């Protein structure tokens, strides 16, 4: 999923920036498409929205109230697909992945410290929350673990993020032809709806526009295009919490 603000079609970008953005979004989309357990892609675009140069929308086929570890791992790889594509194609990375990195780090840390999803540290939570309303803050976190445990937490977060990044990179290497095809099509038309995206990935002709004698086909619904208050990039689902994080 992603958060997407209003389109900024008047924004002028260089040919190189457009190419980088196309590969970045194609990377997100292909990881979501090929990785089992990821939400299906509904729309991919390199039309700027809000502060983002492009966006990828993937939505679950059904609502859920909890998230499994494997689902988190899939979503982390999805979020890192853009950076992995930049590395693979340009042998370079840009600031475009900054929000992706911020989000995956936050979620990986929550997996370890909040949800007990680290095999190394076990089914435990770390960090005792307390209300600090009198200080003008809603929630604070008091560290209730040693420096040694803090180091283990950092190592686990690093391992989880690294594994997700490698997963995304290897998948894109295996589907380099499709990565090129999606990016090239995005450069040409700027936005791909789900049906055309799948057609490009599978090497089929894009769906044709209806003739003048027929009724136009309504656009595919993308559902809510806002999923998190943090960024215009992949949103990693978090189960409801009793208090804001």
Among residues 25, 156, 193, 196, which one is catalytic? 25
Residue 25 is a catalytic residue: yes
Burial per residue of 28-67, b for 16 or more beta-carbon CB atoms within 10 angstroms, e otherwise: bbbbbbbbeebbebbbbbbbbbeebbbbbbbbeeeeeeeb
For 201, residues 6+ apart whose C-beta sits below 8 A from its C-beta are 30, 33, 178, 181, 182
Q: 20 is written with which tokens?
A: 């980088």
Does residue 233 contact residue 51 with C-beta atoms inside 8 Å? Answer: no
Burial per residue of 188-208, b for 16 or more beta-carbon CB atoms within 10 angstroms, e otherwise: eebbbbbebbeebbeeeeeee
d(CA 114, CA 111): 6
The residues that are catalytic are: 25
């Amino acid at each position: 999923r992603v958060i997407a603000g209003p389109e900024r079609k008047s924004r002028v970008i260089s040919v190189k920036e457009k190419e980088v953005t196309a590969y970045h979004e194609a990377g997100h989309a292909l990881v979501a498409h090929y990785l089992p357990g990821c939400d299906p892609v509904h729309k991919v675009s390199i039309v700027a929205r809000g502060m983002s140069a492009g966006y990828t929308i993937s939505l679950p086929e059904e609502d859920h109230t909890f998230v499994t570890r494997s689902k988190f791992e899939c979503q982390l790889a999805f979020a890192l697909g853009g950076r992995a594509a930049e590395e693979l194609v340009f042998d370079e990375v840009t600031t475009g992945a900054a929000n992706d990195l911020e989000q995956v780090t936050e979620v990986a840390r929550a997996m370890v410290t909040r949800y007990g999803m680290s095999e190394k540290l076990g089914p435990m939570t770390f960090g005792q929350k307390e209300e600090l309303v009198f200080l003008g803050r809603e929630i604070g976190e008091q560290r209730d673990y040693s420096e040694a445990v803090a180091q283990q937490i950092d190592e686990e977060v690093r391992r989880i993020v690294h594994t997700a990044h490698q997963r995304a990179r290897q998948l894109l290497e295996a589907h380099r032809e499709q990565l090129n095809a999606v990016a090239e099509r995005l450069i040409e038309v700027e936005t791909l709806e789900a049906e055309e995206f799948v057609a490009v990935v599978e090497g089929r002709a894009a769906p044709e526009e209806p003739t003048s004698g027929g009724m136009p086909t309504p656009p595919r619904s993308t559902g809510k295009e806002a999923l998190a208050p943090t960024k215009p990039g992949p949103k990693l689902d978090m189960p409801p919490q009793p208090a804001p994080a």
